[in-house]
Structure 1
Amino acid sequence: MSTTPLSLNVKLNARLQPEHRLQLFEDPLDAMLEGAGIGEIMGGGTAITEDGEVEYGDLEILLHDGAALPNLIEALEQLGAPKGSLVQREGEPDLAFGSTEGLALYLNGTDLPDEVYEQCDSNYVFDQIVERIDGHGEVCSWWQGPSETALYLYGASFETMRERIAELVATYPLCQGARIVQVA
């Protein structure tokens, strides 16, 4: 029986800093692929917007047998790959997959009164979000931009995560003018 190797690119619809992509996807996926003897990760990258925000991440993967593609997708979904992620193969249409939804919370970093920045702490916001979405999602990465700081949450339901942080966003001074965006 002959096998046909398959080189492909996985476009993760996840706003993850490179070290977070490595922790959450690359390392565990590479261990699974190599442990099962079905493939290996050949490289990875991060697409960045003009402001320096992560747009998505890429993984270059070699499957020793293209028949293992469903196993690869299943593994990525078990690791929490967001909806809107794609398997890209030469000469083939993109194959969409993903199991989680994403929420980006953008905190205003420049326009609030000085005393808000002096008296409030973004670490408090982070800790409160972790506590409030426990069992429903997790904060997977963050970004400090020129005028905003973003926290990226991924879980089963954007709406559930939004509802669970709504009271914090509505009442904590540092969250004034915050934007919530569905990113997956």
Structure 2
Amino acid sequence: MFGLFKKRGKAAETEPQFIVATLNARIQPIHRGEIYEDPLEEILSEASIGEVSGGGTLQSQSGEIEHCDVEIRVNNSSLKTVDLIKTSLEKIGAPKGSRLNVEATNSEIEFGTLEGLAIYLNGTDLDDEVYANSDFNHVYSELDRLTQGVGRVFSYWQGPTETAFYLYGSSFSQMKSLISEFVETYPLCHKCRIEKIC
């Protein structure tokens, strides 16, 4: 009888705990999986400390993504476990303003090192021939190519009146400088706007 109670107590001690990483990144669910969830799952599996158990995306009223969550189930919420998750996500590429919410300790830890740049292409006010003869895919690939070594395109969003590309890297000002000539000369980028998003 006493052994039964002891066994139940042991099971309770090993009950999984949850940590939620709220990433200040405007990325689609598919890109969230590719950029964050899959690499983090591999790290957690190798360390035998847990697994990615879910994820979510928060959208504004316009439909534009504001940030995303990655839910992590861990064996325990020790400082070592939390630090591994934090440092791993920063190595993968976490924007400034991200946070870890540790359920077991009801604590929140800020993290992230990357700065974000969003470029919004005007989808309504350019000449029809510009839209007919230009390519959004070319814009994506050029933005990614031009910022190599400093940042890259993480995701994009197509709204009713504009298309956004989201770049994250070590420096907003450097990324903006690297793409400036292309933005000024490529017809599809005319009347665009650029914003610092983190």
Q: Would the TM-score normalized by the shorter structure come out above 0.5?
A: yes
**Contact 1:11/1:56 (<8 A) preserved:** yes
The residue that corresponds to 1:38 in the other structure is: 49
Corresponding residue for residue 115 of structure 1: 129
Hey, what does 1:71 align to over in structure 2? Answer: 84
User: In percent, how many aligned pairs have the same letter?
Assistant: 47
- Larger Cα Rg: Structure 1 or Structure 2? 2
Q: Deviations over 1:12-41 (max 9, x none)?
A: 101111010000100110111122111111
TM-score (norm 1): 0.93
Amino acid at match of 1:89: V
Runs of 4 or more, structure 1, over 2 Å off, are 2-6, 89-94
Give the match's secondary structure for 1:104. strand
- 1:29 and 1:66 map into 2 onto residues whose CA distance is 16
1:39-95 superposed Cα distances (whole Å, 9 cap, x missing partner): 111211111112221111101112212121011100000100111101123463421
SS in 2 for 1:47: strand
In structure 2, the residue matched to 1:58 is 69
Say which is worse superposed, 142-151 or 164-173, in terms of deviation.
164-173
Residue pair 1:9, 1:87 contacting (<8 A) in 2 also: yes
Gaps of 5+ in 2: 1-12
Unpaired runs of 5+ in structure 1? none
- 1:25-174 equivalences in 2 (<5 Å): 25-67=36-78, 68-90=81-103, 92-174=106-188
SS at structure 1 position matched to 2:106:
coil
Deviations 1:130-163 (A, max 9, x none): 2211111111111111001011111111111010
- The CA RMSD over aligned residues, in Å, is 1.7
Letter of the 1:40 partner, please give it: E
Could you tell me which amino acid in structure 1 is paired with residue 61 of structure 2? E
Judge which range, 119-128 or 45-54, deviates more.
Answer: 119-128
Structure 1 CA distance, aligned partners of 2:159 and 2:117?
A: 17
3-state SS of 1:51 partner: coil
* Aligned partner of residue 174 in structure 1, secondary structure: helix
